[in-house]
Amino acid sequence: MRIGVDGRKIPEAAKRGPVDSFDHARDLGMEGLFFRTVLDMSPTLDPGLLRAVRQRADELGMYLETGLGKVNPYATPEAPELRMMGDGDIVLGFRRMMEACAAIDCRELWVATANYKPAYVGRFAYDRFRTDVTWEEQLAATARFLKILKPIARDLGIHLNLETHEEITSFELVRLVEDVGPDTTGVVFDTANVLQRGEHPVWAARRLAPYVRQTHIKDALIAYDGDVLDFQMRPCGSGVVDFRSILPILAEANPDLNLSIENYESFSDRPRTPPRMIVEIADPQWLAGHPDLGVEEYAAYLAMVRAYGQRIAGGEVPDRRSYAAWAVEHFHYEETVRYIQQSAAHIRGICEELGLPLRRKAA
């Protein structure tokens, strides 16, 4: 396993560009970059630029991972660039992106099912709770589209790896992969997003491990605020995610898995008002929308929340409001670098302590 970082969210990514971002990542002690989509490297699929990115990664002995985009037909209208890649034909657009990725030997490709809606707080921020189309209909449409892409993926030796994104459960991902076929589909395990679906990260890791081919390694606060839970990204080791239990599960299933840290973005790179993300853990409609969630896992999840609440009460970690106020004022280049390096040190330390198959840092 190697430890890298998100190619879109590493600080100054847009300023430096994809080639120079590899040198930046190497200087930060990272061993690779994971660009969310190939269009993050080249919005026009310029073969010369993509070859240059691959060449620089190889020269530095670093990994290069990338992806495509949303594969839920009810969400793709929000990403017109996918259709533009095919001159209006979205299947052709995906084919062209997949061929461009295969040409630089990127064959594990991120895809996802929907987009978080930061203008909303609560369940309507997630496409899972749309009222114009059910989530079951969206999952069925996603499976159909993946089956359209399947022959292309098979011919190119590609896996389309579905992320544990904010709106989808690990149970549903397993069913999608098994329906479409693990010969062309897999999972990108985001270690913190599952918290938003009420799932315990360790339990989710056990379910997903046989299919995990890429990762977003991140941690998060999950804590009560009245009747709801707040979700807020934190550096690895300072949230609720138990990497000491999760990493051996992933390593046993896939010892060559790359561990790509997804960091909180610098406010210098993307000025914004951070959305408040909540989990309506006791709401009857929210609970009804998670029929796979069992009582034992739900109890383990709440025990995890209570234990983290004790860390907050004891002053070991800041609460959501304090951290949010501090981040808006202070989270710029240096803090983003510190976030990445703190996360990497936590993950690397666990791997070394447990004797997991961790490759050396990039030279």
* Averaged pLDDT of the chain: 97
Tokens of residue 311, six digits: 């860390």
For residue 277, pLDDT beyond 80: yes
Question: The sheet that has 277-279: what strands, in order across it?
Answer: 219-225, 228-234, 277-279
Tokens of residue 206, six digits: 């056990």
Per-residue confidence (pLDDT) for residue 359, from 0 to 100:
80
Tell me the C-alpha distance between 243 and 240, whole Å. 9
**Tens of pLDDT along 170-217?**
999 999 999 999 999 999 999 999 999 999 999 999 999 999 999 999
**What is the identity of the amino acid at 161?**
N
Torsion of CA 172, 175, 177, 179, to 10 degrees: -140
Q: What is the mean pLDDT of residues 282-303?
A: 97
For residue 363, pLDDT beyond 80: no
**Tens of pLDDT along 50-82?**
999 999 999 999 999 999 999 999 999 999 999
What is the pLDDT confidence band of residue 274, given thresholds at 50, 70 and 90? confident
CATH architecture of 2-220+234-269+333-354: Alpha-Beta Barrel (3.20)
**Closest among 33, 40, 31, 26 to 68, alpha carbons compared:** 40
Determine the straight-line distance between the first and last CA of the chain, rounded to whole angstroms: 16
**Tens of pLDDT along 327-352?**
999 999 999 999 999 999 999 999 99
Q: What is the DSSP string of 262-309?
A: -PPPPTTTS---PPPEEE-TT-HHHHHT-TT--HHHHHHHHHHHHHHH
Q: What is the DSSP string of 319-334?
A: -HHHHHHHHHHH-SHH
Torsion of CA 219, 340, 247, 195, to 10 degrees: 20
Q: What is the mean pLDDT of residues 29-46?
A: 98
For residue 360, pLDDT beyond 70: no
What is the pLDDT confidence band of residue 28, given thresholds at 50, 70 and 90? very high
For residue 273, pLDDT beyond 90: no
CA within 13 Å, CB half, 74: 21
**Tens of pLDDT along 101-128?**
999 999 999 999 999 999 999 999 999 9
Q: What is the mean pLDDT of residues 254-273?
A: 95
Domain ranges of the chain: 2-220+234-269+333-354
What is the pLDDT confidence band of residue 21, given thresholds at 50, 70 and 90? very high
For residue 321, pLDDT beyond 60: yes
Above pLDDT 70, what percent of the chain? 99
